[in-house]
Amino acid sequence: MKITVVGASGMMGSKIVRELERAGQSVSGASASTGVDAYTGEGLKAALADTDVMIDVTNSGSFGDSNALGFFKQAGKNLLAAAKEAGVSHYLALSVVAADRLVENDYFRAKMVQENLIRASGLPYTIVRSAQFFEFFDGIISSAAETNEFRLSPALMRPIAADEASTLISRIIVGSPHNDIVEIAGPESVQLDQLAREILTVTEDPRSIAIDPEAPYFGVELARTTLLPGADALAGSLTFHDWLSRSMMAA
């Protein structure tokens, strides 16, 4: 079985490729660095030749990027067409937990368009919605920075280490297509402001944290449970506290 990872040069793509290689799978990475452009379609046909299953971890911009819709719509069409032509039997795409509840934000709305294109394609598929990665929390917290403080919602979330997410995705792709959404998340529910407090403590950042239930999350007002996955989400085992401690020791 040949697995092709499109978006292989990004953080998640590179981790998934390494994880599949460690598991003894036949895996090929496709990205701009190998001459593959999902947005224009350049190089896709050659990259997917003889591919049995495909993992789409392509990405554009950030949570606040208004250009995301154009990217995911065009790239999605190109990727799905190329996958059909190649006879791909399992198409897995990485999405975001709660994307359907965050559509006021352009990026999450774009992810929903991507998901809908996959559902309508007729290909056997699995959409993996992941909780936020630990590695992205500096950016998430920074988005809430004001002059001398961070104004943050006390909403709950279950973030996950990118390494554990890549392991779970690598296991899912070698199984049968779910033709549905599978959620992955970390082992515990933690308030967003508490995660920020841990980061500020270990980085010795003197700024304060103001808890505000109406504080927006990339422009979206959150209920307490908006960012949580369902009860049947596949879970990693590493907590944010332990990950942060290890990261600081490694640094």
Q: Are strands 53-56 and 125-130 parallel, antiparallel or unpaired?
A: unpaired
Each residue's pLDDT tens digit, 111-142: 999 999 999 999 999 999 999 999 988 888 88
The angle, 0 to 180 degrees and rounded to 10, between the axes of the packed helices 11-22 and 162-173 is 60
Q: Which domains does the chain have, with CATH numbers?
A: 2-250 (3.40.50.720)
Q: What is the pLDDT of residue 61?
A: 60
Each residue's pLDDT tens digit, 226-244: 999 999 999 999 999 999 9
Q: What is the pLDDT of residue 251?
A: 67
Could you give the CA distance from residue 82 to residue 65 in angstroms, rounded to a whole number?
A: 26
**Is the predicted pLDDT of residue 13 greater than 60, yes or no?**
yes
Could you give the CA distance from residue 23 to residue 44 in angstroms, rounded to a whole number?
A: 25
Among residues 202, 229, 107, 209, which one has the least CA distance to residue 149?
209
Among residues 119, 224, 228, which one has the least CA distance to residue 184?
228
Residue identified by tokens 């996959």 is 118
Q: Are 91 and 80 in contact (CB under 8 A)?
A: yes
Question: What DSSP line would sit under 42-71, residue for residue?
Answer: TTHHHHTTT-SEEEE----S-TT-TTHHHH
**Is the predicted pLDDT of residue 62 greater than 90, yes or no?**
no
